[in-house]
Structure 1
């Protein structure tokens, strides 16, 4: 095998598909339903790790993109997420022109939301402060980087992040909200998508953080591998109570991500139908309309304004106060 930056970096990063089910089992013990779920999740985890490795070994667009596009439509977005991980890691550790911006504004543009999430998945492991990194990214979508950051900590630093309810000191301002959205998304995987385990885990967090955690669950249940039927999605929606609108925001974002990937999976339609009473195409359309003409305002990032507009567009929504979180990046 030729010597590449990837062959030097990969052993120290310690990421492999087999680690995902092992970590989940350590937290909840062996459970039959979780074993079944992880058989469904395995292609997702393997695609993410394989694309991460591919980006480390072949970061040139002309070499990398054909490998990503060879992945089937159902998992291609996950492949681009993994590429975002690898390119961000290379940018942080290997000298040369920045690879991530060229990819996001080039062949990765159709999957830019997922590429940014992938970038956030490696950010906790590189010698770059999150806010310094955010300042270099797209002002509207950069908060998805922090979603990825929160997913990483929620899954790989469970004891500190979930059991200890801790947020890294370096994560401040609105980034804490986006971080919690990623933590919520990670709970979908670390609980094996078990409704009772999801509900119990979120109920253990302070009430002030639950809205963003539930939003992450909404995104995961509509985007990730389909393991829930209508009744299970409905049970989560009911359990969220006053945060049901936040689940609706998450499912709307998932519909946009799926649209960008060029394939709406059946389980995305199911989740959107249960939560919104509409199919994923219609929900994605509502999300796009909500995003028109937005700009950052003092104390309110355009991304959060977008989320608030989606929340207000949900047919069952009731007026909610505007966020007062400051954005300091």
Structure 2
């Protein structure tokens, strides 16, 4: 009986795989290879989500997640993070699935799991957001990065073509509430890598259509996606780097984040090494050490997350100039 209920929960909660097809989304198709890559990412994300929806406990999902190929495993953990957070947001049942998930193997995929929580928030009624209290001053902004990605991916007309901007956002609130739109824009920038089919010129064209004060965060998100997801060769990476112009250090900061996420999870792949070399002149190990050293000890009037990002950009600039 319990197995039947878990299977039913999986069918009810998991989105249809058609939702991640490029044709369904109306995204740009650069070539068949990039299309296959991006659709595979979407499929794996939904696989992780389905494993979380069906699992009796978070530990039960780990075996299936660990079977996902290295290149895509992080996306599966992101999907599972969303799945467990959605279960926490339901009006019935336990509300600690995500916390228990993060205490297991997902601890190695921390960045991706928090981003997945942001996807869940985009799908849940706002009153349910009260269940999500993130005390970590760094990770809470990755939640909003995930929210921004979801909105740009599924509500592309509003968030990309109409360039919708949240001027006031209710979560997480507090003295740094003003930073929420910026964190959301970082997720929008990451989604642009998918919306524009990994075409570096189209991504840059789209970013440059946004207001100038939003472009730095958008470029940072796109740089992260280019490094983590891939889909381009060295010439295309260098073209994107050149197009970024005065926002190159934001691209580098996003790349360093992406490399750290893969390195700490043991998921480093050749396209990440290549992008990091082009954008930062570093190896994934060097980028990870840099990101660890740059972590701020406390918050100030500026969120610790933004201080962290600035320190990383400055450290990359110093490395490139050395």
How far apart, CA to CA, are the structure 1 residues paired with 2:113 and 2:50? 15
The offset of 1:76, in angstroms, is: 1.9
Match of 2:120 among 107, 119, 122: 122
In structure 1, stretches of 5+ residues that fail to align are: 319-329
- Contact 2:118 2:142 (C-alpha < 8 Å) held by counterparts: yes
How far apart, CA to CA, are the structure 1 residues paired with 2:13 and 2:64? 24
How many residues are paired up? 311
The offset of 1:198, in angstroms, is: 0.6
How far apart, CA to CA, are the structure 2 residues paired with 1:133 and 1:177? 23
- Contact 1:23 1:190 (C-alpha < 8 Å) held by counterparts: no
Query: Structure 1 95/134 Cα, relative in aligned 2: closer, same or farther at 3 Å?
Result: closer
TM-score, scaled relative to structure 2: 0.89
How far apart, CA to CA, are the structure 2 residues paired with 1:175 and 1:215? 15
The offset of 1:16, in angstroms, is: 1.9
Q: Quick check: which one's helix share is greater?
A: 2
- Counterpart of 2:157 in structure 1 is 159
Q: Say whether residues 1:241 and 2:239 are aligned partners.
A: no
- Counterpart of 2:148 in structure 1 is 150
- Counterpart of 2:283 in structure 1 is 279
Which stretch has the larger CA shift, 36-45 or 128-137? 128-137
The offset of 1:27, in angstroms, is: 4.7
- Counterpart of 1:7 in structure 2 is 8
The offset of 1:227, in angstroms, is: 1.8
* Aligned-residue RMSD, C-alpha: 2.3
- Counterpart of 1:203 in structure 2 is 208
Q: Say whether residues 1:16 and 2:17 are aligned partners.
A: yes
Query: Structure 1 207/317 Cα, relative in aligned 2: closer, same or farther at 3 Å?
Result: farther
Deviations along 1:246-266, whole A, 9 cap, x unmatched?
001000000110112202111
Query: Structure 1 18/51 Cα, relative in aligned 2: closer, same or farther at 3 Å?
Result: same
How far apart, CA to CA, are the structure 1 residues paired with 2:95 and 2:196? 39
Which stretch has the larger CA shift, 116-125 or 205-214? 116-125
How far apart, CA to CA, are the structure 2 residues paired with 1:317 and 1:277? 8
Match of 2:81 among 84, 88, 102: 84
- Counterpart of 2:97 in structure 1 is 99
- Contact 1:249 1:310 (C-alpha < 8 Å) held by counterparts: yes
How far apart, CA to CA, are the structure 2 residues paired with 1:149 and 1:317? 32
| 3-state SS in 2 of match to 1:314 | helix
How far apart, CA to CA, are the structure 1 residues paired with 2:192 and 2:60? 34
- Contact 2:9 2:54 (C-alpha < 8 Å) held by counterparts: no
Match of 1:217 among 203, 208, 222: 222
Which stretch has the larger CA shift, 102-111 or 155-164? 102-111
- Contact 2:14 2:46 (C-alpha < 8 Å) held by counterparts: no
- Contact 1:59 1:87 (C-alpha < 8 Å) held by counterparts: no
| 3-state SS in 2 of match to 1:267 | helix
Query: Structure 1 215/197 Cα, relative in aligned 2: closer, same or farther at 3 Å?
Result: same
- Contact 1:34 1:194 (C-alpha < 8 Å) held by counterparts: no
Deviations along 1:110-164, whole A, 9 cap, x unmatched?
1111100111112111023597455334332111110100000011001111111
| 3-state SS in 1 of match to 2:237 | helix
| 3-state SS in 1 of match to 2:105 | coil
In structure 2, stretches of 5+ residues that fail to align are: 171-176
Query: Structure 1 34/157 Cα, relative in aligned 2: closer, same or farther at 3 Å?
Result: farther
The offset of 1:213, in angstroms, is: 0.3
Deviations along 1:220-253, whole A, 9 cap, x unmatched?
01000x3211111111111111111100100000
How far apart, CA to CA, are the structure 2 residues paired with 1:123 and 1:137? 16
- Counterpart of 1:304 in structure 2 is 306
The offset of 1:316, in angstroms, is: 6.2
- Counterpart of 1:36 in structure 2 is 33
TM-score, scaled relative to structure 1: 0.87
